[in-house]
């Protein structure tokens, strides 16, 4: 029954053992003061290395790119050393791992970025959006975001250079590739969506202009590490962090076609996954499939049955299971053998220590306990 999920697949120059993806999930366990990946994170990812592909948690490309407390960076030598521990542990278990690179833009607070004002496509505050800061306790302290300043051309050039350096850093730290986070209301998404981009220069207004920043970032990173080591995450119908597009189907089919021209390894579509979320229609998914010839990954509350159906229909090539991977380090084995899934503790998702990170047992361990 689950054969569709366990057929090998080519991803760039890589051959993946199965079609099951562990997607990026912020866990906020980086070591301070330098926001460095650590042994605890290495153990966490190594436990889950039976996924066909692991995409690491959102990793900031610069100090100004950080949105939340305790998230890891990939711009200093200490941070690269930390990530090398992670990739070494994953590879020791025959896993394959991409780094997710992000710049959050306006989705932050000055306390997380050294007291500076955030930057964005436009000087528009994200309404009803909170981020968490380190307020001196071990629990995240949530605060409202602030109004960003509109990026200048110099700012744009700087961020493109930071993404490019971060991509090279990721490869040097042992990652098999990188995923550009262009979803969920973060910086690149702030350029793409019409309601968060009110620019009047070549990066704003019409759709071609709103996709220009994405285009330039991908071009620069592909020149540095090769397009076959690059994936991109998009979220066409997600309104997380206040980004909304007036015509998402037109916008995101165009984005898929643009990325197809770059010959990137994969496109990762995050479907809106809250209870009353808008549903991506089959026609929308088919239009993306027709626009993009590479590997297509979908994420968003997938059951095994829905995952198999998506792959067998040809709409998707791989399926990402997010929170199920938190409490089920052996999720592919549980899927293959029809074993029940454990539930995660939502109180331990962000911040803290090994509790709720590396202490979830495999099915065999839970059975023998």
Q: Give catalytic residue positions.
A: 186
Those residues whose C-beta lies under 8 Å from the C-beta of residue 365, and which sit 6 or more positions away, are: none
Contact 268, 232 (CB under 8 A): yes
Alpha-helix residue ranges (DSSP H) falling in 193-330 = 207-210, 212-225, 248-261, 282-291, 304-313, 323-327
Alpha-carbon span 146 to 50, nearest angstrom: 40
Beta bridge partners, 306, equal none
Contact 221, 178 (CB under 8 A): yes
Contact 168, 215 (CB under 8 A): no
Instruction: Say if residue 67 is preceded by a cis peptide, omega within 30 of 0.
Output: no
Token pair, residue 305, equals: 């049955």
Alpha-carbon span 39 to 41, nearest angstrom: 5
Cα-Cα-Cα-Cα dihedral of 257, 262, 266, 270, to 10°?
-50
Contact 192, 245 (CB under 8 A): yes
Contact 75, 165 (CB under 8 A): yes
Backbone angles phi, psi at 146, to 5 degrees: -120, 175
| Cα-Cα-Cα-Cα dihedral sign, residues 158, 161, 167, 168 | negative
Going through the chain in order, the beta strands assigned E by DSSP cover: 9-11, 14-16, 20-22, 53-60, 97-102, 119-120, 130-133, 141-144, 149-150, 177-181, 230-234, 266-270, 295-299, 318-320
């Amino acid at each position: 029954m689950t054969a569709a999920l366990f057929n090998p697949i080519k991803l760039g120059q890589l051959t993946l053992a199965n079609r099951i993806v562990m997607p990026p999930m912020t866990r906020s366990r980086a070591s301070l003061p330098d926001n460095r990946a650590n042994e605890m994170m290495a153990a966490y990812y190594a436990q889950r290395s039976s996924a066909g592909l692991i995409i690491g948690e959102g990793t900031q490309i610069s100090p100004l790119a950080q949105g939340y407390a305790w998230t890891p960076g990939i711009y200093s030598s200490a941070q690269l050393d930390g990530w090398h521990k992670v990739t070494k542990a994953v590879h020791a278990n025959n896993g394959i791992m991409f780094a997710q690179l992000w710049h959050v833009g306006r989705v932050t607070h000055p306390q997380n970025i050294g007291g500076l004002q955030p930057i964005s496509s436009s000087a528009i505050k994200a309404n009803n959006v909170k981020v968490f800061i380190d307020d001196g306790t071990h629990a995240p302290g949530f605060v409202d975001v602030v109004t960003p300043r509109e990026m200048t051309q110099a700012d744009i050039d700087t961020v493109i250079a930071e993404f490019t350096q971060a991509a090279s850093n990721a490869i040097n730290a042992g990652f098999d590739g990188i995923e550009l986070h262009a979803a969920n209301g973060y910086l690149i998404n702030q350029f793409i969506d019409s309601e968060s981009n009110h620019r009047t220069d070549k990066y704003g207004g019409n759709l071609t202009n709103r996709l220009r920043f994405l285009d330039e970032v991908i071009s620069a990173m592909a020149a540095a590490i090769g397009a076959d080591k690059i994936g991109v995450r998009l979220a066409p119908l997600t309104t997380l962090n206040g980004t909304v597009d007036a015509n998402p189907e037109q916008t995101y089919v165009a984005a898929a076609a643009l990325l197809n021209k770059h010959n990137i390894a994969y496109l990762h579509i995050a479907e809106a996954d809250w209870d009353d979320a808008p549903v991506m229609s089959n026609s929308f998914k088919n239009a993306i499939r027709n626009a993009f010839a590479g590997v297509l990954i979908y994420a968003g509350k997938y059951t095994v049955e829905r995952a198999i159906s998506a792959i067998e229909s040809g709409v998707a090539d791989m399926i990402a299971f997010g929170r199920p991977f938190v409490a089920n380090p052996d999720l592919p084995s549980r899927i293959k053998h029809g074993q029940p899934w454990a539930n995660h503790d939502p109180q331990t998702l962000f911040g803290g220590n090994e509790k709720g990170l590396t202490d979830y047992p495999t099915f065999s361990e839970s059975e023998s306990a």
